[in-house]
C-alpha cells in the first residue's frame, strides 16, 4: 500500500510538473505573440503563475542565446557566491532538478526580480519550494549583468575630434532651431543642414579653436570684395579671435558661412536683380547652388580663388576690374586734397645724366591718395610715384606723362574721378547679369555682342573679334532698345515689314485722320479684319523700311536687327534714332559672316547674299542658333587698353547708382514683376476715304506670329511690383 502511495505521489509530481510546463510554455508563447486573452479561465491561470516584467531590450543576438544556454548549467566554482540564497531555499541534492520550463521562462535581464518574487514563498512554506529551487538554481547572475547594457541605444562612433565636439554640439543645436537667424533663403538652410549633418556637425572654419586654411582664404576674399566692385560691408566678418567658447565659435562659424553665401550669390548674379532697374531687360537667370558653393570652397586648395571664381570670367570684365584699381590709385586711399604747388617730374637715369628725384612736402599725401603703401612718409617724387601718377592720368583721360602738373592735381581732387569709379562699378554689375558663356561651344564660342551706348556690334569667335559694324539703336524713353540675351535662328532676305501695333495705333492711324492717302503714298498695305482690328504691312523691296535683310532672334520685346534704306544716320557719333530695333550698317557682310560661322561649308559671300535680293522672302535658317547679347556698356576697355566712357543715353547708370545708394540690401535681389506685352489689336473705325483690304479672317495672326512665325513667348518671372511693359519695333 505504501509502495502504491509512493508511486502515486511520484506520479502526481510528474503530472504537476507536466501541467506547470504546459501552462508556463503557453504563457511565454502568448507574451511573445502579444495576443489578447478571451477566456476567464485562462486569465485566472495566468494570474496564478508568477511572471517577470517585460523588458524593453533589443532582439537577442547569437551571443545572447549562447550565454542563456550555458547559464542553465550550475558552475560549481561560482556556488560560494550564491551561498546565502541556497541556505534558505535549496533542499537535498537529490531533489534539485533543472526543468525546461524554468529555463524558458526566466529572462536573463530580469533575474534579480524573479529570484526575489519566488524565494519569499519558499521561506514560509519550506515543503513547497521545489519550483523555487529550480528557479534559483538555474538563474545565473553573470548573464544578467552582461545583458544590462543592451537595454540602452548604442551610439555610433563620432568622427569629430574631441576638441571640436562641444562646438559641433552647439552647431547641431543652432542649425536645428536657429538656422533662419543666419540664412534667409530656404535652399541655403537646406544646404547647411545637409553639409554639416554629413560631417557630424564638425566645424569647417576652425579646428581646436584655430582658423583653418579655408577660413583664412574666405576671409581674405571677403575683405578684398571692393576690388571686384562689391561692398565689403555687405559681407560682415565674425570676430574669431574673441570667440573662445563653443557657443561663440558656433555662432562665428555660421556667420562666416552666411557671408560666404552672400558673396558668391552677388558675385555671380549681382547685388541687384536686373528687373529692379527696368522692365525692358531680360537676361537668363544663373543662380548659385549653395551645396556646390560649400563643396567647392571647403575642399579647394585655395579657398580664396574658389570663391573668386563666382565673379564674371569674361575678359572685358577683368579689364574693367584692373581699370577700377587704377582709378582708385591701386587702392582705396583716404579722402585727401592735394595742395597746389610746383610741377613735379621724375627723370630716370640715362647715358649722360643721373637720375633726378625732386622732393616736395605734398608727396606723402599723394602717395596716400594713390594708394602707394611703400615709403608712405617719403617726400621724394620717385619712379614709383611717377608711375602711379601716369596710370591715374591714363584712366582719367589725361596725357599719361607721369608729371604732376596743375591739371593732374585738379583731376585727382575733382569729384569726376569718383563719378568715373561709380560708372565702372555699374558696368561691372551689369556684367554679372550676362550669361557666363556668351557663345555656343559647338561653333567655337561664337556670339554677337551689341553695345548700345557705343552704337557698335561685334561678332566674336574663339575669343577674337571676327567682324564689327556701326548700328542705330532705339530712342531714349519708350523706344529704348531692350537689354537681352537670345539666339539668332535665321536670316530673312527681302523681308516684309509688319508694322508694329505701337506705330499703327500711335502714329499711322492718327496720320490717316489728316491724310487718308498717306499710307498708299508710303507703299504700305492696310488690311482690316472682320473684328475691326487693322494690320499694316510693307511688301519686300528696295524702299522697305527694313531694307533687304532682317536678322531674327525671337523675343518678347519684338525687336530684331535689320538693314535700312536710310544710311545717312551711320555717320553720326550718337545714333539713338529707332523705335527700338537695331539698324545695321553693312547687313550683307554681317549676313555672310554669320552664315559662314553657322554653315562653313556653304561659303557665303556678300555678293551671294546680294544676288538673292528680290520681291520674295527667303529664310536662311541656322542649323545651330548663334547667341545675341544686347549690352549697355558705358565704360569699357578698348583694343588699345584704354578705358573708354560713353554717354549714359538711357540713364541706366544713374538709376542703378541711386538704387544701390538708397536700396534695402538683399531686397534688391528680388525679382520685380512687369506686365507682359500685348499683341492684341483693338477694333478701329477707319476715316472716310481710306481703302482697306479685307482679309476675311476674324483677327488674323498676332504680331509676334506675323513677325517670327512662332508661338507667343512664355511670361517673365513673377516678382513684386508690376509695371507697364513696352513693345519695341523697328
Residue ranges in 460-618 assigned as alpha helix (H): 501-503, 509-514, 518-521, 587-598, 606-610
Which 3 state secondary structure label does DSSP give 659?
helix
Alpha carbons 401 and 382: distance in angstroms, whole number: 14
Alpha carbons 671 and 716: distance in angstroms, whole number: 10
Alpha carbons 459 and 45: distance in angstroms, whole number: 97
Residue 630 grid coordinates:
544686347
Alpha carbons 535 and 700: distance in angstroms, whole number: 9
Residue 177 grid coordinates:
532651431
Alpha carbons 298 and 598: distance in angstroms, whole number: 42
Contact 370, 329 (CB under 8 A): yes
pLDDT given at position 503 = 85
Alpha-carbon distances of 96 from 12, 21, 135, 367, 430, rounded to whole Å: 17, 16, 10, 105, 95
Whole-model pTM?
0.66
Q: Please state the length of the chain.
A: 730
For 711, residues 6+ apart whose C-beta sits below 8 A from its C-beta are 705
The secondary structure element, H or E, covering residue 65 is: helix 62-71
| 228 DSSP 8-state letter | G
Candidates 96, 97, 92, 139; CA nearest to 115 is 139
Alpha carbons 364 and 398: distance in angstroms, whole number: 22
In the numeric block, the cell 510546463 is attached to 21
Contact 407, 414 (CB under 8 A): no
Alpha carbons 653 and 418: distance in angstroms, whole number: 14
- Strand pairing of 483-493 and 549-552? antiparallel
In the numeric block, the cell 503714298 is attached to 521
Residue ranges in 72-138 assigned as alpha helix (H): 83-89, 100-104, 111-124, 130-138
Contact 315, 449 (CB under 8 A): no
Cα pseudo-dihedral 322, 327, 333, 338, rounded to 10: 150
Which 3 state secondary structure label does DSSP give 472?
strand
Other CB atoms closer than 10 Å to residue 707's CB: what's the count? 23
Contact 156, 233 (CB under 8 A): no
In the numeric block, the cell 553665401 is attached to 261
Contact 613, 540 (CB under 8 A): no
Alpha carbons 707 and 700: distance in angstroms, whole number: 13
In the predicted model, residues of the chain with pLDDT beneath 50 are 1-2, 4-5, 25, 30-38, 41, 44-45, 53-55, 65-151, 155, 330-334, 698-699, 710-730
For 669, residues 6+ apart whose C-beta sits below 8 A from its C-beta are 265, 266, 269, 270, 271, 272, 273
For 583, residues 6+ apart whose C-beta sits below 8 A from its C-beta are 471, 472, 547, 561, 562, 563, 564, 569
Amino acid at each position: 500500500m505504501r509502495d502504491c502511495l509512493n508511486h502515486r505521489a511520484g506520479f502526481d509530481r510528474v503530472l504537476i510538473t507536466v501541467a506547470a510546463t504546459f501552462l508556463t510554455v503557453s504563457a511565454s508563447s502568448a507574451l511573445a505573440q502579444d495576443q489578447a486573452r478571451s477566456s476567464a479561465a485562462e486569465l485566472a491561470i495566468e494570474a496564478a503563475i508568477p511572471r517577470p516584467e517585460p523588458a524593453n531590450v533589443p532582439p537577442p543576438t547569437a551571443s545572447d542565446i549562447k550565454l542563456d544556454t550555458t547559464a542553465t548549467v550550475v558552475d560549481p566554482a561560482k556556488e560560494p557566491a550564491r551561498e546565502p540564497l541556497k541556505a534558505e531555499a535549496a533542499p537535498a541534492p537529490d531533489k534539485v532538478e533543472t526543468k525546461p520550463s524554468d529555463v524558458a521562462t526566466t529572462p536573463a535581464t530580469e533575474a534579480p526580480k524573479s529570484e526575489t518574487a519566488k524565494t519569499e514563498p519558499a521561506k514560509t512554506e519550506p515543503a513547497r519550494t521545489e519550483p523555487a529551487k529550480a528557479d534559483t538554481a538555474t538563474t545565473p547572475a553573470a548573464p544578467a549583468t552582461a545583458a544590462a547594457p543592451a537595454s540602452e541605444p548604442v551610439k555610433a562612433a563620432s568622427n569629430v575630434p574631441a576638441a571640436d565636439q562641444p562646438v559641433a554640439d552647439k552647431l547641431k543645436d543652432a542649425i536645428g532651431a536657429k538656422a533662419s537667424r543666419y540664412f534667409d533663403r530656404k535652399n541655403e538652410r537646406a544646404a547647411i543642414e545637409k553639409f554639416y549633418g554629413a560631417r557630424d556637425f564638425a566645424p569647417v572654419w576652425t579646428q581646436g579653436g584655430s582658423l583653418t586654411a579655408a577660413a583664412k582664404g574666405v576671409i581674405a576674399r571677403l575683405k578684398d570684395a571692393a576690388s571686384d566692385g562689391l561692398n565689403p560691408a555687405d559681407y560682415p566678418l565674425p570676430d574669431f579671435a574673441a570667440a573662445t567658447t563653443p557657443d561663440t565659435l558656433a555662432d562665428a562659424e555660421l556667420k562666416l558661412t552666411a557671408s560666404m553665401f552672400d558673396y558668391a550669390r552677388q558675385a555671380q548674379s549681382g547685388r541687384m536683380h536686373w528687373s529692379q532697374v527696368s522692365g525692358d531687360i531680360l537676361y537668363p537667370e544663373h543662380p548659385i547652388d549653395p551645396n556646390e558653393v560649400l563643396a567647392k570652397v571647403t575642399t579647394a586648395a585655395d579657398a580664396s580663388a574658389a570663391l573668386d571664381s563666382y565673379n564674371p570670367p569674361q575678359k572685358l570684365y577683368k579689364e574693367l576690374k584692373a581699370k577700377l584699381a587704377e582709378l582708385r590709385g591701386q587702392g582705396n586711399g583716404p579722402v585727401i586734397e592735394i595742395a597746389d604747388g610746383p610741377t613735379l617730374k621724375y627723370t630716370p637715369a640715362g647715358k649722360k645724366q643721373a637720375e633726378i628725384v625732386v622732393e616736395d612736402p605734398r608727396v606723402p599725401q599723394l602717395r596716400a591718395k594713390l594708394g602707394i603703401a611703400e615709403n608712405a612718409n617719403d617726400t621724394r617724387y620717385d619712379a614709383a610715384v611717377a608711375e602711379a601718377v601716369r596710370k591715374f592720368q591714363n584712366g582719367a583721360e589725361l596725357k599719361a606723362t607721369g608729371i604732376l602738373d596743375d591739371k593732374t592735381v585738379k583731376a585727382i581732387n575733382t569729384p569726376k574721378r569718383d563719378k568715373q569709379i561709380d560708372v565702372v562699378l555699374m558696368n561691372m554689375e551689369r556684367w554679372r547679369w550676362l550669361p557666363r558663356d556668351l557663345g555656343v561651344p559647338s561653333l567655337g564660342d561664337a556670339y554677337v555682342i551689341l553695345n548700345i551706348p557705343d552704337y557698335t556690334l561685334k561678332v566674336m569667335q574663339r575669343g577674337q573679334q571676327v567682324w564689327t559694324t556701326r548700328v542705330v539703336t532705339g530712342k531714349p524713353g519708350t523706344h529704348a532698345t531692350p537689354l537681352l540675351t537670345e539666339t539668332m535662328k535665321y536670316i530673312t532676305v527681302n523681308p516684309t515689314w509688319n508694322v508694329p501695333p505701337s506705330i499703327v495705333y500711335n502714329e499711322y492711324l492718327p496720320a490717316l485722320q489728316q491724310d487718308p492717302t498717306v499710307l498708299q503714298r508710303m507703299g504700305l498695305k492696310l488690311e482690316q479684319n472682320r473684328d475691326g482690328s487693322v494690320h499694316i504691312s510693307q511688301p519686300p523691296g528696295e524702299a522697305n523700311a527694313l531694307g533687304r535683310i532682317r536678322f531674327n532672334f525671337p523675343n518678347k520685346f519684338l525687336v530684331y536687327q535689320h538693314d535700312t534704306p536710310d544710311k545717312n544716320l551711320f555717320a553720326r557719333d550718337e545714333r539713338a534714332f529707332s523705335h527700338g530695333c537695331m539698324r545695321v550698317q553693312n547687313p550683307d557682310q554681317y549676313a555672310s559672316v554669320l552664315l559662314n560661322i553657322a554653315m562653313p561649308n556653304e561659303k557665303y559671300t556678300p555678293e551671294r547674299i546680294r544676288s538673292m535680293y528680290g520681291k520674295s522672302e527667303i529664310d536662311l535658317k541656322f542649323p545651330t542658333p548663334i547667341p545675341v547679347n544686347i549690352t549697355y556698356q558705358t565704360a569699357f576697355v578698348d583694343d588699345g587698353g584704354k578705358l573708354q566712357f560713353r554717354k549714359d543715353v538711357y540713364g541706366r547708370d544713374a538709376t542703378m547708382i541711386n538704387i544701390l545708394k538708397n536700396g534695402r540690401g538683399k531686397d534688391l535681389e528680388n525679382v520685380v514683376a512687369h506686365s507682359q506685352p500685348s499683341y492684341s489689336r483693338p477694333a478701329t473705325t477707319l476715316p472716310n476715304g481710306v481703302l482697306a483690304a479685307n482679309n476675311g479672317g476674324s483677327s488674323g495672326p498676332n504680331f509676334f506670329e506675323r513677325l517670327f512665325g512662332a508661338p507667343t513667348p512664355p511670361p517673365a518671372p513673377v516678382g513684386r511690383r508690376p509695371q507697364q511693359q513696352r513693345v519695341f519695333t523697328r
